[in-house]
Amino acid sequence: MSATYNPMELMICCAARLLENGRTVAVGTGAPCAAAMLAQRTHAPDLVVFFESGGVGPQLPTMPISVGDSRTFYRGIMATSMADVMETCQRGMMDYTFLGGAQIDAFGNLNSTMIGKDYKKPKIRLPGSGGANDLASFCWRILVLTNHDKRRFVEKVDFLTTPGYLTGPGAREAAGLAPGTGPYRVITDLAIMGYHDQTKRMEVLSLHPGVTMEQVQSNTGFAITAHGQLATTLAPTESELRILREEVDPHRYIIGRA
């Protein structure tokens, strides 16, 4: 009998599986932090987690409530500053970063600045970049966790806060960003997406159990295709769910958002 889980638990488990042992990852709070904690407790005990506020390599005891929470330094290898964390990215030493936004387009560009056409009078003013632009520009692989709907997955972002593949092949390099860096995976409540090697457009790699390609397309504001023979996402195991529920997020701050 398969374990029962909610969409957020599935997304976190999918993200955790992408983080290899011995790699580096920049995370914020929320689902990305939960994914890193789950990875450390399962297959990646030597995953080195960086927080923007300066915590490096902590063994997180419980879910922190902010990037400045003292738990982000617990048993860490360094208690430093934002400047040192960003320098690590600039030196090409950050393998993964988790980012998000109100909008994402087919090339993985993100908007966390505003909704609307007039910057001075937007429909909605959003928090802005924070460190997202820096992380996306200098880390090797960008991971995104988000719900899947047409309001988020748009043909063109209203404001380019964070660079993905910009306008397509060669655009990141033309903008002065390092070859080989850029968007890697998008994990939603419907599917896991990657990017086509040549076109750099988003494509579906696997569908979550019970989800169809038609559902994904109807919830995406641009044309999206499948990468060859579609896989079915592996459901969370009982062990993953136990660790996630009992050790990572026992108060259900994150996984309670079903």
Residue 189: inside a domain, yes or no? yes
C-alpha span between 94 and 24 (Å, rounded):
5
pLDDT number for residue 1:
40
Residue 256: inside a domain, yes or no? no
How many domains does the structure of the chain reveal? 1
pLDDT number for residue 156:
97
pLDDT number for residue 258:
56
In degrees rounded to 5, what are phi and psi of residue 192? -115, 125
C-alpha span between 6 and 16 (Å, rounded):
16
Inter-residue contact 54 to 40 (CB < 8 Å): no
C-alpha span between 49 and 34 (Å, rounded):
11
Q: With CA atoms as reference, report the closest residue to 123 among 113, 136, 109.
A: 113
User: 């499948």: which residue's tokens?
Assistant: 226
Residue 254: inside a domain, yes or no? no
Residue 57: inside a domain, yes or no? yes
Predicted TM-score (pTM) of the model is 0.94
Question: Tokens standing for 103?
Answer: 């909008």
**Amino acid occupying residue 255:** I
Residue 222: inside a domain, yes or no? yes
Inter-residue contact 191 to 230 (CB < 8 Å): no
Neighbouring C-alpha atoms within 13 Å toward the C-beta of 79: 8
Q: Pick left, alpha or beta for residue 6 (phi over 0 → left; psi -120 to 50 → alpha; otherwise beta).
A: beta
Residues of the chain with pLDDT under 50: 1
Residue 253: inside a domain, yes or no? no
Output the 3-class SS for the chain. Answer: CCCCCCHHHHHHHHHHHHCCCCCEEEECCCHHHHHHHHHHHCCCCCCEEEECCCEECCCCCCCCCCCCCHHHHCCCCEECCHHHHHHHHHCCCCCEEEECCCEECCCCCEECCEECCCCCCCCEECCCCCCHHHHHHHCCEEEEECCCCCCCECCCCCCCCECCCCCCCCHHHHCCCCCCCEEEEEECCCEEEEECCCCCCEEEEEECCCCCHHHHHHCCCCCCEEEEEEEECCCCCHHHHHHHHHHHCCCCCCCCCC
Of the candidates 9, 20, 52, 87, the residue annotated as catalytic is 52
Is-catalytic flag, 20?
A: no
CATH number at residue 67: 3.40.1080.10
Residue 237: inside a domain, yes or no? yes
Which residues lie below 8 Å from residue 110, measured CB to CB, with a gap of 6+? 99, 100, 101, 103, 104, 132, 136, 144, 157, 161, 162, 164
Residue 37: inside a domain, yes or no? yes
Q: Range of 157's domain?
A: 7-248
